[in-house]
Structure 1
Amino acid sequence: MPISPPPRGRGTASNPHNRYAPTRSQVEDDGWYQEETPPSHATEVRREQARSVLTRNQSPDVGFDRSVNPYRGCEHGCIYCFARPSHAYWDLSPGLDFETRLIAKTNMAERLEEELGKPGYTPQPIALGINTDAYQPIEREYRLTRQALEICLRYRHPLHLITKSSLILRDLDLLEALAAQNLVSVAISLTTLDDELKRIMEPRAAAPAARLRTMRSLHAHGVPVGVLCAPLIPMVNDMELERLLEAARDAGARSAGYVLLRLPLEIAELFEEWLRSHFPERAEHVMSLIRQSRGGRNYDSRFGTRMSGEGVFAELLAKRFRLAIRRLGLEPRGEPALDCSRFCPPGRQLALL
C-alpha cells in the first residue's frame, strides 16, 4: 500500500495513536459519498501556565542535571526527534500533532525567577531547550527563550544551549554578555550538508549553510560554540560525518559530539514510514543496521549505550568520529566548565549588608 507523503513543510503525514488514550478510533467507509474536506495543517499554539519550569535530570548519559523547556512540541518537524513521544502526555499524537499543536509556557519567566531565587537553590548549568528547540519558529513571537537568557544574565546563572536555528543570532547581545563571564556555551546541531535531505528530514529547520553561518557569527562574537552531529542514521547521513565535522571546525566549532539514531516508542513507526516513503530501496538495510546496533531491537534504552549503540556498525562509527576529531583538532564534546561562582540573585547582596 502506498505511503502518503507528508504535507509540505511537515515531517510526517501520520498521527499515530496516543498510547495513553483509553479508546481508539478508526475510519470506515459507510458507503455514502461526499467531498473530503482537506485537513488543516496550520500551526496552533496553546498557552500554558506552568507550575514549575526547572526540570531535574539524573541520567548519566547527559552532561547536565537540570533543564528549562519554553515549548512543548516543535515546529521544526524533524522526523527523528526523540521528544515526539512526550506529546502523548498531553493527549496529543507524537506524529503530526507534535509539529502543529504546540504549547508555550507563557509564564516561564516568572516561574524561573521564583525557582532561582529560592534560598536553598544551588546553581549548576541549565540546559535551555533540551527537549524541543528553544529557537523554533514560534520563538519569534513569544520570545520566551530571550526572557530566559535575560534572567540568566541578571542572576549570573550559567546555561548551555543546543539549537539548529539561526534565530539564536537575534540574541547575540545577551550571549556575548554571558560569554564574557563564562556563563554560556552553544552547540549547533548539524545533521547534513545536503539541502534536499535537510528538507525532507528537518522540514522547518535552518538550512545547513545557515547553521554554519550561525557558528561563524557566534565564534566571531566570542561565544563558545561546538557541533553536535545528531542523529547519525545508517546509510542516510552517516557517510557525511567527516565532512560535517570539517565544515563545523572551519566555521568556528571547537568541540564535537555525535548521537546514533534513537527510536523510542512511537518514533520507530514514524521513522520507518518516512524511510519507506523517501528511501524505499534501502529501507530494509537501514533498519537492519539500526537493529544490529540496538541488540536486535529498534531501540535499546540502557544508559551507556543508548546514545552510541553497540556492535560492528556502532563501533566503526565511534572509531571514525575519534579519528576525525583528532585530525581536525576538535575536543570531544562534554559540556564546557562554566562559572557557577558568579551566581547572585538580584538584591541578595543588599540583603547581606
Structure 2
Amino acid sequence: MSKARPVRGATRNHASARFNLPQTEADGDWLDARADIDGEPARLKTTVTVEHPRTIISRNTSPDIGFDRSINPYRGCEHGCIYCFARPSHAYHDLSPGLDFESRLFAKPDAAALLRTELSKPGYLVAPMALGTNTDPYQPIETDWRITRGVIEVLAETDHPLGITTKSDRVVRDLNLLAPMAAKGLVSVTLSITSLDPKIAATLEPRAPTPERRLTAVRRLADAGIPVNVSIAPVIPAITDHEIEHLVARAAEAGAQRVFFLPVRLPWEVAPLFRAWLDAHFPDRAGKVMATIQSLRGGRDNDAGFFTRMQGQGPWADLIRTRIAIACRKHDINHERVPLRRDLFRPPRGPQGELF
C-alpha cells in the first residue's frame, strides 16, 4: 500500500500509460531512500516552471458546459485534490498525474498581455470568460505570481463578463476589482466546498483553504454585492454524501444564491490514484465507495458521456438530486440565474489609443 505524503493528496507518482512514458515512483530515488531510512515519506517541495504560450483563451464546444471559453493561468494545482479531473493533463508534459501534478507546476506570466491581444482582435465576439475550469486560479502560488489578478484587471478594464470557480478564499483579495464588475452585472463567483469536516477536507484537498475559510469568503463576496454560488463538487458516496443538507444550510446562511453538485468523476489516471487514496485513508469502506461510484457511472469507474458525466445516472444520482432540491427549497435558494451582461464590452485600448 502506498503511504500518504505530508500535506499532499496523491499517494503515488506513476506516469501515464497512455503515452508510453517510463513508470516513475514517488518523486525520485533520493526521496524514496529518505522514506526507507525515516520510515515515513519525505515532504515534496513545490516547483514552478514559467510557460510562454502563444494564446491564452481556450475554447470548447461541449454541450454540457455552460461556457465556450476559459483561461487557465496555471497548469497543475498545489491544492492536491485527489479527485481532480484535470490531473491527466500533466501526462502531456511527460509528468505524472499523481504527485507531479500537485508539486511540479507551470505558470503563465504573459496571460494578461496575451488576453489583451486576443480581445483586441477585429471580430471578437464577447461571451462570459471562465476562470477555474481546469486548475484553480487562486491556488497558493497566486499569492506571489498574481497572474489571475492581472487577467481580471484586463477583463474589468474592458467590461468583459467573467465567471470564477475556486476552492480558495484568496478570491476576496480581488474584491476591489470584482465588486465594481458585479455592480455592472459582469461577474459571478462559485466557491467549491466538498466537506465541512476539517479532517476529511485535509485528506481530500490537503492544501486548499479550510471549509470555514471558504464559507467566510462566500459571506464576504455576498456582502460586497457579488453573486456567489456554492458547488458541492464532488459528492463522494460514503465519504461526504451525508453532509449534503448541512452544506446547503451553511451555504444559504453565508449568502449563497445557488447551490449545485457534481458526483465524483474518475477519468483516466484519476481512478487508480483515487483507489490508492481510499486504501490509505478509508480502507474500511473502499469497496463500498467504488461500488457506489460505479452505480453512478453505468457500472464503470468513469462515464465520459455528455450530460451524464456531470450528473451521474441511476438511483444514487436521483437521490442526491432530490436531497439537494429539497434542501434548497427549505432554505429558499437556487433562484433563477441572472445572465451576465455582454453589451458593455469594449476592446482594450492600445498605447496609441491613449494619446487621444
- TM-score, length-scaled by structure 1: 0.93
Out of 186, 190, 193, which is 1:190 matched to? 193
Residues 85 and 267 in structure 1, CA contact (< 8 A), matched pair in contact too: yes
Q: Which residue of 1 aligns with 2:73?
A: 70
Q: Secondary structure at the match of 2:33?
A: coil
Q: How many angstroms does 1:22 deviate by?
A: 3.1
Aligned length: 342
Give unpaired runs (5+ residues) of structure 1: 28-34
Q: 1:208-247, aligned counterparts within 5 Å?
A: 208-247=211-250
Q: How many angstroms does 1:18 deviate by?
A: 2.1
Rounded to whole Å, the distance in 2 between the matches of 1:13 and 1:314 is 28
Q: Secondary structure at the match of 2:170?
A: helix
Q: 1:102-121, aligned counterparts within 5 Å?
A: 102-121=105-124
Distance 1:100 1:333, change over 3 A: farther
Q: Which residue of 2 aligns with 1:207?
A: 210
Q: Which AA in structure 2 matches 1:297?
A: R
Out of 47, 52, 55, which is 2:55 matched to? 52
Q: Are 1:150 and 2:147 matched, yes or no?
A: no
Q: Which residue of 1 aligns with 2:321?
A: 318
Q: 1:261-280, aligned counterparts within 5 Å?
A: 261-280=264-283
1:275-319 Cα distance to aligned partner (Å, 9 max, x none): 111111111011111111111100111111111111111111111
Q: How many angstroms does 1:37 deviate by?
A: 4.2
Q: Which residue of 2 aligns with 1:337?
A: 339
Q: Which residue of 2 aligns with 1:175?
A: 178
Rounded to whole Å, the distance in 1 between the matches of 2:73 and 2:248 is 29
Rounded to whole Å, the distance in 2 between the matches of 1:146 and 1:37 is 39
Q: Which residue of 2 aligns with 1:19?
A: 17
Residues 5 and 43 in structure 2, CA contact (< 8 A), matched pair in contact too: no
Rounded to whole Å, the distance in 2 between the matches of 1:89 and 1:340 is 35
Q: How many angstroms does 1:86 deviate by?
A: 0.8
Q: Are 1:10 and 2:8 matched, yes or no?
A: yes
Q: Which AA in structure 2 matches 1:293?
A: L
Distance 1:91 1:332, change over 3 A: farther
Rounded to whole Å, the distance in 1 between the matches of 2:322 and 2:335 is 13
Q: Which residue of 1 aligns with 2:39?
A: none
1:321-341 Cα distance to aligned partner (Å, 9 max, x none): 11111221111686x400100
Residues 21 and 94 in structure 2, CA contact (< 8 A), matched pair in contact too: no
Rounded to whole Å, the distance in 2 between the matches of 1:171 and 1:315 is 37
Out of 316, 327, 330, which is 2:330 matched to? 327
Rounded to whole Å, the distance in 1 between the matches of 2:23 and 2:131 is 37
Q: 1:118-157, aligned counterparts within 5 Å?
A: 118-157=121-160
Out of 1, 23, 36, which is 2:33 matched to? 36
Q: Which AA in structure 1 matches 2:253?
A: D
Q: How many angstroms does 1:91 deviate by?
A: 1.0
1:183-235 Cα distance to aligned partner (Å, 9 max, x none): 10001101111000010110000101101100010011111101000000001
Q: Secondary structure at the match of 1:92?
A: coil
Rounded to whole Å, the distance in 1 between the matches of 2:280 and 2:336 is 34
Q: Which residue of 1 aligns with 2:348?
A: 346
CA RMSD, aligned part only? Answer: 1.9
Rounded to whole Å, the distance in 2 between the matches of 1:114 and 1:37 is 48
Residues 56 and 71 in structure 2, CA contact (< 8 A), matched pair in contact too: yes
Q: Secondary structure at the match of 1:185?
A: strand
Residues 157 and 342 in structure 1, CA contact (< 8 A), matched pair in contact too: yes
Q: How many angstroms does 1:344 deviate by?
A: 0.3
Q: Secondary structure at the match of 2:250?
A: helix
Q: How many angstroms does 1:23 deviate by?
A: 4.6
Q: Secondary structure at the match of 1:230?
A: strand
Q: Secondary structure at the match of 1:124?
A: coil
Q: Which AA in structure 1 matches 2:348?
A: P
Rounded to whole Å, the distance in 1 between the matches of 2:277 and 2:336 is 30
The percentage of counterpart residues that share the same residue type is 47
1:116-140 Cα distance to aligned partner (Å, 9 max, x none): 1101100000001210000000001
Rounded to whole Å, the distance in 2 between the matches of 1:187 and 1:120 is 30
Rounded to whole Å, the distance in 1 between the matches of 2:276 and 2:336 is 32
Q: Which AA in structure 2 matches 1:101?
A: R
Rounded to whole Å, the distance in 2 between the matches of 1:210 and 1:25 is 38
Rounded to whole Å, the distance in 1 between the matches of 2:219 and 2:43 is 38
Residues 257 and 333 in structure 1, CA contact (< 8 A), matched pair in contact too: no
Out of 291, 294, 311, which is 1:291 matched to? 294
Q: How many angstroms does 1:5 deviate by?
A: 2.4
